[in-house]
Structure formats: structure tokens, C-alpha cells
Amino acid sequence: MTASRSATGSRRNVASHAAYLGLALAIVSLLLLAAGPIGWRAGWWSFGLAFSELMPWSAYLAAAGAVVALLTLLFLRPSAGHGGAMVAVFALAANLALLYPPLHWYEVRGKYPPIDDITTDPENPPNFAAVLPARQAEQSNSTVYGGTATARQQREAYPDIAPALTKLPTKAAFDKALDAAEAMPGWRIVAEDPAAGRIEASQSSRWFGFTDDIVIRVTAGEAGSRVDIRSEARHGRGDFGVNAARVRAYLAQLRTELGGK
């Protein structure tokens, strides 16, 4: 009888410890997932550490925690009791939820080319000026365009991206281009230079606070004006399609502002 009670108690302890281990792994995974963007925004560590190390480790721990919690429910549930089983269920759900962000990002990343500079004019992309000091302070990517290799990858992935043409003269076209930029959600207008036909803006992501820079160029065309846009990330080699989506959204807003003119 004593030996049986001892075995039962030992099994109950193992089940309880396993359930709480799964929960502990979920907590550490959450801390790592949160630490990446918090530390990056605070300047405690680099983009590479935040995104390429802390996020993967968060996923590894969440996967381990999910396995531990699932094994507890499959093989130790009777010994865990109602309380231990509830802890294991919560740990399983928490770990699976924590797996989603990193797996989603890496799955999305594989759909897009490893470029972070999108423009409507790959042959002569608009140049940044006003945002350069901020980029230099962050030791960000170079603003020198990647040349034919980047242009080829853009054409293959985003063949629809092209300049906006309008019959309006450059001054009127510039005003419309500025109106469209000011209407874009989340954009911060950094500079506007009507004489040079250039508008610069920036936008930061909500989670990591990654900043992308935008430059818009308005020039005279054959029968009116031409509007080009360039959007480039400050950090990283791939942009998950964000810059192309931003360029498309701006061009759609610009067409609305132009009203067919």
C-alpha cells in the first residue's frame, strides 16, 4: 500500500511539474518575443539580435512548451488532477499562440524577394536628401540603389509598379502629390520642396518600430507631369513586401487625388 501511494504521489509530482514547465516555457517565450522590439526601440541591442535571434528563440521555447504541455495532457492527465490539467491546457494554448508571430513572419518573408528598396523608376530612382541625417544616425542601409539586380527582382515580383502620369503641369501635380502623401495613414512628412519637385516622408511599423523612408519626385513629362516614388527600409535585407504595398497604396491615393486629370 505504501509503495503504491508513493508511486502515485511521484507520478502526480511529475505531472504537476510537467504542466508548470510548459507554462514556464510560455512565459519565457513571451518575454523574449516582447524583449526584441522593446530592446530595439530602446537602443539596447541591434536589429539583428532583436529579429534574428530573440524571435527564433522565442519560437523554439514556445514549441518546446507546447510539446511538454501536450505530452502532459496525453500521458499524465489522470495524475495531474483537474488543476494540473487546466494548467497544461492553458500552457498548450499560450505556447501555440506564441508560435504564431515568428512563424507568420518567416512564412510571409519567403513569399517576397530579398530586397528592401522599391521604386517606380529603377533606371533613375528618386534620391533621398532630408532623411539622410536620421538614417546616418541609425547606421541604416545605404541609399545607393541596388542596380540591375534589384531592378530585375522588383520587375519579377511587382510588375505592376510604374510611374503615375498626369496632364497637369508640374506645380499642380506637385500639390496633388503632396495631398496624397498627407492623406497616407502613418506617414510623417519630413520635407517638401516644390522647386525641386521632391517630397520626403517616413513611416514606422507598430511592433518593432522599423522605419522606412519615402521620396516622391515630380518632373515634367511629355504631355504634363510624371510622379515617381521610392520607398526603402532603413534596416534589414528583406521587407516582407511592405515597401511595394506602400508604393501601390500611395499610387492609388494619388489617382484619387488626380481624379483622372
Check: CB of residue 79 under 8 Å from CB of residue 14: yes
Complete DSSP assignment for 37-104: HHHHHHTSS-HHHIIIIIHHHHHHHHHHHHHHHHHHHHHSHHHHHHHHHHHHHHHHHHHHHHHHHHHH
The mean pLDDT of 87-94, rounded to a whole number, is 91
Q: Rounded distance, CA 154 to CA 116, Å?
A: 10
Q: What pLDDT, in 10s, does the model give residues 58-81?
A: 999 999 999 999 988 887 665 556
Q: What is the pLDDT of residue 79?
A: 55
Give the chain's mean pLDDT: 87
The answer, yes or no, to whether residue 1 has pLDDT greater than 60, is: no
Residue at grid coordinates 520635407: 191
Q: Rounded distance, CA 35 to CA 47, Å?
A: 12
> Rounded to an integer, what is the distance from CA 147 to the centroid of its chain?
24
Query: What band does 9 get if pLDDT is binned at 50, 70 and 90?
Result: very low
The answer, yes or no, to whether residue 153 has pLDDT greater than 60, is: yes
Q: What is the pLDDT of residue 10?
A: 52
Complete DSSP assignment for the chain: -HHHHHHHHHHHHHHHHHHHHHHHHHHHHHHHHHHHHHHHHHTSS-HHHIIIIIHHHHHHHHHHHHHHHHHHHHHSHHHHHHHHHHHHHHHHHHHHHHHHHHHHHHHHHTTS-S--EEES-SSSPPPP-TTHHHHHHTT----S--THHHHHHHHHH-TT---EEESS-HHHHHHHHHHHHHTSTT-EEEEEETTTTEEEEEEE-SSS--EEEEEEEEEEETTEEEEEEEEEESS-S--TTHHHHHHHHHHHHHHHHHTT-
What are the cell numbers at 216? 516622391
What are the cell numbers at 146? 541596388
Query: What band does 5 get if pLDDT is binned at 50, 70 and 90?
Result: very low
